[in-house]
Amino acid sequence: MSDHVETFEIAVNGQRRRAAVEADATLLTWLRDGLQATGTKRGCNQGVCGSCTVMIDGWPQRACLSLAAACEGREVRTVEGYGDDAVMRTLQRRFAEGGAVQCGFCTSGMLISARRLLADSPRPDEAEVRAALSGNLCRCTGYKKIVDAVLLAAEELAP
Amino acid sequence: MSRLLHRPGSVDEALALLAERPEARLLAGGATLVAMRNAGLVDASAYVALDGIAELRGIEQLPDGGLRIGAMTRHRETATCGLLRDSLEVVRRAASMIANPVVRNMGTMGGSVANADPGADYPAALVCVDVELELAGTEGRRRVPAAAFVQDWYETALEPGEILTAIFLPPPRTGRSTYRKLARVSGDYAIASCAMALTGGQGDEEIAVAIGGCGPGPLRDVGAEAALRGRLDDPGALAALGEALVALADPIDDVRASADYRLRVIPRLVRATLDDLRSERRAA
Amino acid sequence: MNLEGTFDVRAPRSLVWEKLTDPALMAGCIPGCEEIEQLSATSYRAVVQVKVGPIKARFNLVTEVTREEPPDAVYSATRGEEGTRASVVSADSVVRLAETNPGETSVSYSSEVSVTGRLGKFGLGVMRKKAESLSLEFVENFKKRVEPESAGA
């Protein structure tokens, strides 16, 4: 089906957006190539690395394993779509200031997973943070500063 | 509306779509099918998405105390379901060890079971607790016991045009159960795994054990289990169960481990899993 | 991967040899074989469909008989692809025939097979199991066709 183009309309970051891609394209392709929303990354394209993690209907999911066609009618939120959300802003600042970003490739996926964690558990312990981020691989940092950034953000938001 | 993806609102509608277009692929969570599509291993001309069918969702308790798990239940829900306790806790634990939290938001029990990956986590747990799988076809519905569901490598009792709709669990029996997974890293498929349930009173304990990752489907020997009744702390008797399971095994050599390693590890997994359950009982 | 096995056929060696080198008969015995065509005195083209779980692969193969030592052994080389070269397969094989008792032949085969490309990603371990089960199916099919003819002779 890859020679067949279709236009999909999906709610992204609070707005209905339309883009034409191959009929069987993934949400990841639709976001990056259709919308030029390149904050979400393509790493393994097999659902393992986590760099494509986005929020769909409030839950972190793999954009590379979601068909764009299956996302019509869903609410997608990417790392670019949190505006002034205090939790996300705090996480982003803690990542940036705390050395939790080196190449940055894993960062957007990490932030989505962390955002969900803090919604479920405002003061997680280290084990919970590591478990929540266990679906996001990082090749640069060794994870410590990422975990610390999430813990410090949680502490700041819910002292 | 996509010309490629159909989203029926009922099982009957889905069955009619499959009858009309036998080459269409059923789409559950997409965690396996879309990954295969990305790797160029599957090139579907049509998808039938099952996420619009209400009866396929959710875990409910039935009047007889048993449970019905809809095929589209996500691993995350199964992993946090309090109804899966005692002898059924093994199913909850197996769900919690599938991949990682993000994939658990997407993958479904039905999708996983129907795919029958030899290294997946549910099959051993479901065989251990003796579930029945409900399959729907245009002729009606039928149930297949877990132990008979996997027929060959990646082949199941599902006939073309059939849909796995629900997983039925017997009522929980008082006791303890657990799932132990041997894997290279957290989130990987199992090299080998052990699902174990202990029920019954002290001195007369019964054991149910199923091994995953060592053949097309899970390994279980109910005869060897019966011989162990009330004798679980006899190392010789436990070794006999391990040997019986090794005799049933048909493991592959793959990047995760050799077939030989899998055979060696089975009896050790059985012992280690029993030790886990003993420690939990002492700690309780 | 190396695939090998042995099976016994209740038929004389000469008949087994004849049948192993008969394209029409072989097409009926190879599981999933959709077409077979003799290209020359020593080469054949075949299309074989193999299914593993949700993955269906249609292999386009060319087999060249590289050496014949009648009535003992046949050596062949098979090269092919599936999915427009998404996977590439090659196999070097030898089949040996031995008369065990009058009217009975022991056939042993050994094949060095390599599969690269997208099917390689799927995991060679399961492919071996699949190849072994296809070989067993082939043997059953072959015996069913050859043994009655021999018994009737």
Rounded to two decimals, the ipTM of the complex is 0.97
Per-residue pLDDT band at A105 (split at 50, 70, 90): very high
CA B36 to chain centroid, in Å, comes to 20
With 90 as the cut, is the pLDDT of residue B267 above it? yes
Q: Is residue C4 helix, strand or coil? A: strand
Residue B135: strand pairing partners: B142, B164
Predicted confidence (pLDDT) per residue in A17-61, tens digit: 999 999 999 999 999 999 999 999 999 999 999 999 999 999 999
Given this model, what pLDDT does residue C153 score? Answer: 59
Task: Answer yes or no: do B250 and C124 touch at CB < 8 A.
Answer: no
Given a contact cutoff of 8 angstroms between Cβ atoms, the answer to whether B249 and B215 are in contact is yes
Which residues, at least 6 apart from A144, have a Cβ–Cβ distance to it below 8 Å? none
Sign of CA dihedral A73, B108, A31, B4: negative
Q: Is residue B193 helix, strand or coil? A: strand
DSSP 8-state assignment for residue C54:
T
C2-146 has CATH 3.30.530.20 classification: yes
Task: Answer yes or no: do C123 and B39 touch at CB < 8 A.
Answer: no
Task: Answer yes or no: do B252 and C130 touch at CB < 8 A.
Answer: no
Predicted confidence (pLDDT) per residue in B62-86, tens digit: 999 999 999 999 999 999 999 999 9
Least CA distance to B34: which residue of chain C? C54
Task: Answer yes or no: do A1 and B49 touch at CB < 8 A.
Answer: no
Residues of A in contact with B39 (CB under 8 A): 45-46
Predicted confidence (pLDDT) per residue in B22-61, tens digit: 999 999 999 999 999 999 899 899 999 999 999 999 999 9
**The total number of residues written for chain C in this structure:** 153
Q: Is residue B180 helix, strand or coil? A: strand
Residues of A in contact with B100 (CB under 8 A): 50, 134-135
Please report the domains of chain B, with CATH numbers, ordered by start residue: 175-283 (3.30.390.50)
Instruction: Strand B25-27: give its sheet, edge to edge.
Output: B5-6, B47-49, B25-27
Task: Answer yes or no: do B105 and A59 touch at CB < 8 A.
Answer: yes
Predicted confidence (pLDDT) per residue in C73-127, tens digit: 999 999 999 988 889 999 999 999 999 998 999 999 999 999 888 887 766 688 8
Given this model, what pLDDT does residue B281 score? Answer: 87
Residue C2: strand pairing partners: C112
Given a contact cutoff of 8 angstroms between Cβ atoms, the answer to whether B107 and B98 are in contact is yes
> Environment class of residue A131 by beta-carbon count within 10 Å: exposed (0-12), middle (13-18) or buried (19+)?
middle
Q: Is B186 on the interface with A (CB under 8 A)?
A: yes
Given this model, what pLDDT does residue B29 score? Answer: 98
Amino acid at site B199: T
Around Cβ B146, how many Cβ atoms within 10 Å? 26
Q: Would you list the domain boundaries of chain C?
A: 2-146
Token pair listed for C13: 């060696």
Candidate from B39, B40, B153 with C-beta closest to C126: B153
Task: Answer yes or no: do A50 and B34 touch at CB < 8 A.
Answer: no
Q: Is residue B181 helix, strand or coil? A: strand
Task: Answer yes or no: do B25 and C54 touch at CB < 8 A.
Answer: yes
Task: Report the predicted TM-score, pTM, of the whole model to 2 decimal places.
Answer: 0.93
Q: What is the mean pLDDT of chain A?
A: 97
- d(CA B112, CA B35) in angstroms, rounded, equals 13
Predicted confidence (pLDDT) per residue in B196-229, tens digit: 999 998 889 999 999 999 999 999 999 999 999 9
Share of chain B above pLDDT 70, in %: 99
Task: Answer yes or no: do C53 and B115 touch at CB < 8 A.
Answer: yes
Least CA distance to C82: which residue of chain B? B41
Least CA distance to B43: which residue of chain C? C55
Query: What is the widest separation between alpha-carbon atoms in chain A?
Result: 54
Closest among C112, C114, C117 to C82, alpha carbons compared? C117
What is the average pLDDT across C5-11? 94
Interface of B with A in 101-130 (CB under 8 A): 101-103, 105-106
What is the average pLDDT across A99-107? 98
Task: Answer yes or no: do C53 and B118 touch at CB < 8 A.
Answer: no
What is the average pLDDT across A139-158? 98
Given this model, what pLDDT does residue C55 score? Answer: 86
Amino acid at site A40: T
- d(CA A72, CA A5) in angstroms, rounded, equals 16
Which residues, at least 6 apart from B234, have a Cβ–Cβ distance to it below 8 Å? B228
Share of chain B above pLDDT 90, in %: 94
With 60 as the cut, is the pLDDT of residue A1 above it? no
What is the average pLDDT across B112-116? 97
Given this model, what pLDDT does residue C121 score? Answer: 72
Q: What is the mean pLDDT of chain C?
A: 91
- d(CA B6, CA B42) in angstroms, rounded, equals 18
Q: Is B42 on the interface with C (CB under 8 A)?
A: yes
Closest among A143, A42, A65 to B186, alpha carbons compared? A143
The distance of A158 to chain B (nearest Cα, Å) reads 23
Given this model, what pLDDT does residue A2 score? Answer: 57
The distance of B114 to chain A (nearest Cα, Å) reads 18
Given a contact cutoff of 8 angstroms between Cβ atoms, the answer to whether B65 and B86 are in contact is no
